[in-house]
A and B are shown apart, each in its own frame.
Chain A
Amino acid sequence: MGAVLEMMWRSFISLVVATILGACSQLTSLAGLGGSEVVIGTATRDSLQVSVPVLGAQGFATEAARIGSVVTWRTADNATFSFDQGVIVSTRGLGDDLMGADATQSIAAVNGGALAWAPRINGYMNGEYQSFFMTFQCRRSDTQSVQTPVGNRLVTATRITEACINDERQIENTYWRNSNGLVLKSRQWVSPGVGYVETERVIR
């Protein structure tokens, strides 16, 4: 209001703070992801335990939307994780979010296919708010039947490992799938800033 030409103290302070924090600002703001306000005992529905080691964040998410085969889970402090048949296709609220993906190849890997290399495309946004894409060549590299802890039970699952490469990086996604085709646990790469996301279904 009438102050376009003048710098406001509030703006000044935020700039100073941001300058000092620099790249750390993502971390501080995400420290509350999940947080103590989510008590697992009060969950009445299935939930998803999510952790993002690079951001030092973890918490529980509940189902927020379902569209086609994509399910979106939301944490208490409003970060979302969307999975298509267990494969991560989108995140929000993490900063360097995965804006969208063509994960056809990863989905095929989880469902027992994808033995040959084929592309996966991830969409991102840069600091100038422009879209950019990262493509990988991916294939299923390993499948094992394993006993794995889920919650406080030991369950039998198929552990599927997917290898993806491009000119800059090599990533490995791991999915633990039960006999009904449900991904019980996973460790999936999201973006350079977010790194891997680890998920585990908590079934009531």
Chain B
Amino acid sequence: MRYLIRSTLVVASGGVFLGQSLAEPYSGYNTYGYPGLIDTPSALSRPDAELAFTSSYFKNQSRNTITFQITPRLSGSFRYSNIENFQREGSELFDRSFSLQYRLIDENPDTWQPAVAVGLNDFLGTGIYSSEYVVATKTLGSGVRVTGGLGWGRLAGVGGFDNPLGVFSDAMKTRPTRDFGKGGTVEADQFFRGNAAFFGGIEWQATEKLAITAEYSSDAYPFEDGSAFERKSPYNFGVSYQYRPGITLGAHYLYGSEFGVQATFATNPKSPSGGPGIDRAPMPVLPRRNAASLGWSVDSIGETRVQNRIQAALAQSGLKLHGFSASGRSIRIEVENATYPNMAQVVGRTARALTHSVPTGVDTFTIVPVVAGLSGAAVTLNRSDLEELEYTYDNSWSSFARASIEPDTGPLSPISGRYPQFEWQLRPYLTPSLFDPDDPIRVDVGLELAAKYQPAPGFELRGAVRKKLAGNLDESTRASTSVLEKVRSDFNIYDREGDPAITELVGAYYFKPGEDLYGRVTAGYLEPMFGGISTELLWKPIDSPFALGAELNYVKQRDFDQLFGFRDYEVATGHVSGYWDMGNGFHSQLDVGRYLAGDWGTTFTLDREFKNGWKVGAFATFTDVSFDDFGEGSFDKGLRFEIPISTVTGQPNTDKLTYTMRPVQRDGGARLNVSDRLYETVRELHKPELQNGWGRFWK
């Protein structure tokens, strides 16, 4: 993301997922938005893959937390808090913090054995919420659950005693003060050190939707007590009500003095609200015995007529014919998609369209999806298999097993009339900016005019202009304090002066220089802040979990007004990138190279990917810029989300909502934002992605 912090303001909810009920072995969310009771932790987790946004408020304190159940046992949270009268009257603190919770032991309902979890809170940076805990939870009969744990740090504020871990080392008995520098670094030398204290509570599921909780919190609120609110008692009481699946509302009476409220919105990428999708029905397979009117062979009908029929049948299916060639009893079709969320469905719809348009003597269809003049896999299907399998109960996997998926070797053979092609569209945009202490939520909305001209296969000229209609991004006046080249931290000047702004204006060429190789050259105004030339080479066999890429760019910083001029700064930047589909839905990426400010380093990215296209991930970049020079946050890091719109609406659609959220945007570890990197483009044309999506072949 180019700007400070950009966030979707919406958490998709709805769909089918499990509610919060004591009958199920799941915890609720506490005021910090991680699995817990009211203000303390629990040993249970949330359902695997649940993504939740929790907002809580009590006297002068609000917390907004995104929590992802990364695996069935591990959850991670990112929190943005606001505390008024922090430590003293009149002060205001905006703070970002992370939490991790790991369930070590599952509850055994048949024995005394409870669930046991361990957790870390606010282990990076300033650490006002810093604590560690070990906690156990046991479900008793009649919807009652008890939790008890041992806490350190903030969770040892009340009733603290000598650290039992002191038996291993005297050093465990004292908790060192935190020297957080610019924040952002892991403060592991504090972990489980200093005094410890007990906390715990009891939950009662009164009705299917209503739960009542009482807890004893060992948190003394050392920075807030006396200024933000009066902490009079360690006892908290709360009710939570499941308003509808995915939405839970809570109210609490906290620390003997204040009422608090909270709301959680949760969704699960495994079962988004769009379900399997409400696509309009495809053309049914037309069997050859009923298709005599199509003629016997391509030769006897004439290529042009066959091509016209195919084009019409594909158009009716929401697809475009890119190329066509016939030889004897086989036919090869290149197809372009602007309708469906995955290529397996494109192949399936194309195959059925072909049964309505190709002469009956043709018994083998080779279907090659094409994107930006590039092809990946060629999927060969027997016409007889389509006729045989359409209505069978395991039509999806039986058709996958019988399909041959090979690298496409042939050169593209575009039909006449495909090139040149000009397309344009006018659409609204919305750009939010979060976490500026002066105004934590800012938004611009406006119109974007985008156009694309394709003179020949692989060649593209494209551009986009934006005109702001309303918004307040221009109110950000914080000047960059960066000691590095200001490659990103002047984002607010770009926001202020870029109206209208040319966000992209480039010429691009995509090509396949050899087996399993893909190439790209893009030149022009590459992104709002930089222009120049960007080149890339990617090696990716069609059935491999590994890919390797190299990118080399020479760019110059653009003028703040984002029109045609440039500033003085120029830099050569580029990376070698390794991609690894690790299996079980996890995907990692490692980039090593030179960043925009001239710093050298490495970016680690780990995503959890779902077969419907949802991605939830995190990244961190370490470069030779010192933490002090980097400034606030010490190094570049963030979370990223990708949500195919079709999974939410249920309507077929190729749009995705992609969003990268950084706690803070600085200049170190900043990468060029080229819009057309090859890996994601090529990946959907390859076998693993086709296989992941093959359920949609017959949709």
Chain A residues at the B interface, C-beta cutoff of 8 Å: 1-12, 14-19, 21-23, 25-26, 29-30, 64-68, 70, 72, 74, 77-80, 82, 84, 89-90, 92-97, 99-102, 121-131, 133, 193
Contact A3 B393 (CB under 8 A): no
Q: Complex: how many Å from CA A102 to CA B6? A: 50
Interface residues in B428-445 by Cβ distance below 8 A to A read 428-432, 445
Contact B695 A129 (CB under 8 A): yes
Distance (whole angstroms) from the CB of B220 to the closest CB of chain A:
39
Contact B387 A74 (CB under 8 A): no
Of A4, A6, A74, A126, the residue contacting B429 (CB under 8 A) is A6
Residues in chain B near residue A90, CB distance under 8 A = 390-391
**Is B270 interfacial (CB 8 A cutoff)?**
yes
**Could you list 17 further interchain pairs (A-B, Cβ under 8 angstroms) beyond the known A12-B10, A125-B696?**
A1-B462, A2-B464, A3-B429, A6-B6, A7-B431, A15-B12, A19-B648, A23-B16, A74-B284, A78-B281, A93-B281, A95-B275, A121-B393, A123-B394, A128-B270, A129-B693, A133-B394
Query: Known: A10-B427, A25-B650, A29-B651. Contact between A129 and B611, CB under 8 A?
Result: yes
Contact A127 B275 (CB under 8 A): yes
**Is B643 interfacial (CB 8 A cutoff)?**
yes
Residues in chain B near residue A92, CB distance under 8 A = 279-282, 699
Contact A96 B390 (CB under 8 A): no
Q: Complex: how many Å from CA A127 to CA B696? A: 11
Interface of A is mostly: mixed
**Is B274 interfacial (CB 8 A cutoff)?**
yes
Distance (whole angstroms) from the CB of B169 to the closest CB of chain A:
47
**Is B698 interfacial (CB 8 A cutoff)?**
yes
Residues in chain B near residue A18, CB distance under 8 A = 12, 14, 273-274, 645, 648-650
Q: Complex: how many Å from CA A190 to CA B659? A: 38
Query: Known: A23-B14, A127-B275. Contact between A101 and B393, CB under 8 A?
Result: yes
Q: What are 19 of the A-B contact pairs (CB < 8 Å)?
A: A3-B429, A3-B503, A3-B675, A5-B675, A6-B6, A9-B430, A22-B15, A23-B16, A23-B273, A25-B273, A66-B287, A67-B284, A67-B390, A78-B280, A92-B282, A95-B275, A101-B393, A122-B393, A123-B393
Contact B392 A102 (CB under 8 A): yes
**Is B657 interfacial (CB 8 A cutoff)?**
yes
Contact A12 B276 (CB under 8 A): no
Query: Known: A7-B430, A10-B428, A84-B391. Contact between A64 and B275, CB under 8 A?
Result: no
Residues in chain A near residue B649, CB distance under 8 A = 14-15, 17-18, 25
Q: Complex: how many Å from CA A107 to CA B429? A: 54
Contact B658 A1 (CB under 8 A): no
Residues in chain A near residue B645, CB distance under 8 A = 11, 14-15, 18
Contact A19 B284 (CB under 8 A): no
Contact B650 A12 (CB under 8 A): no
Contact B396 A131 (CB under 8 A): yes
Query: Known: A7-B8, A7-B659, A129-B693. Contact between A15 and B648, CB under 8 A?
Result: yes
Residue of A nearest to B390 (CB): A67
Contact B699 A6 (CB under 8 A): no
**Is B278 interfacial (CB 8 A cutoff)?**
yes
Bitwise interface map of B from 245 to 284 toward A, beta carbon under 8 Å scored 1, else 0: 0100000000000000000000001111111111111111
Residues in chain B near residue A67, CB distance under 8 A = 284-285, 287, 290, 387, 390-391
Distance (whole angstroms) from the CB of A56 to the closest CB of chain B:
14
Contact A127 B612 (CB under 8 A): yes
Distance (whole angstroms) from the CB of A31 to the closest CB of chain B:
12
Contact B395 A123 (CB under 8 A): yes
Distance (whole angstroms) from the CB of A189 to the closest CB of chain B:
15
Distance (whole angstroms) from the CB of A110 to the closest CB of chain B:
16
Q: Complex: how many Å from CA A8 to CA B281? A: 28
Residues in chain A near residue B675, CB distance under 8 A = 1-5
Residue of A nearest to B650 (CB): A25
Contact B290 A66 (CB under 8 A): yes
Residue of A nearest to B696 (CB): A129
Contact A125 B695 (CB under 8 A): yes
Q: Complex: how many Å from CA A121 to CA B427? A: 46
Contact B270 A10 (CB under 8 A): no
The 9 closest A-B pairs by CB, nearest first: A22-B14, A9-B428, A2-B504, A92-B281, A65-B284, A80-B281, A93-B281, A78-B280, A123-B393
Q: Complex: how many Å from CA A123 to CA B16? A: 19
Q: Complex: how many Å from CA A193 to CA B394? A: 20
Interface residues in B672-694 by Cβ distance below 8 A to A read 673, 675, 692-693
Distance (whole angstroms) from the CB of B309 to the closest CB of chain A:
17
Contact B273 A130 (CB under 8 A): no
Q: Complex: how many Å from CA A121 to CA B394? A: 9
Of A23, A66, A68, A96, the residue contacting B276 (CB under 8 A) is A96
Residues in chain B near residue A126, CB distance under 8 A = 270-271, 275-276, 695
Interface residues in B521-538 by Cβ distance below 8 A to A read 527
Query: Known: A8-B427, A10-B428. Contact between A127 and B16, CB under 8 A?
Result: yes
**Is B592 interfacial (CB 8 A cutoff)?**
no
Contact A5 B610 (CB under 8 A): no
Distance (whole angstroms) from the CB of B369 to the closest CB of chain A:
17
Q: Complex: how many Å from CA A101 to CA B101? A: 43
Of A23, A68, A97, A131, the residue contacting B15 (CB under 8 A) is A23
Interface residues in B587-608 by Cβ distance below 8 A to A read none
Residue of A nearest to B464 (CB): A2
Contact A14 B648 (CB under 8 A): yes
Of A15, A93, A95, the residue contacting B657 (CB under 8 A) is A15
Contact A70 B450 (CB under 8 A): no
Residue of A nearest to B246 (CB): A22
Q: Complex: how many Å from CA A101 to CA B693? A: 20
Distance (whole angstroms) from the CB of B689 to the closest CB of chain A:
11
Contact A12 B657 (CB under 8 A): yes
Residues in chain B near residue A100, CB distance under 8 A = 390-396, 698
Residues in chain A near residue B396, CB distance under 8 A = 99-100, 123, 125, 131
Contact B657 A11 (CB under 8 A): yes
Residue of B nearest to A134 (CB): B393
Bitwise interface map of B from 629 to 664 toward A, beta carbon under 8 Å scored 1, else 0: 000000000000001010111110101111110000
Of A16, A21, A101, A123, the residue contacting B10 (CB under 8 A) is A16
Residues in chain A near residue B550, CB distance under 8 A = none
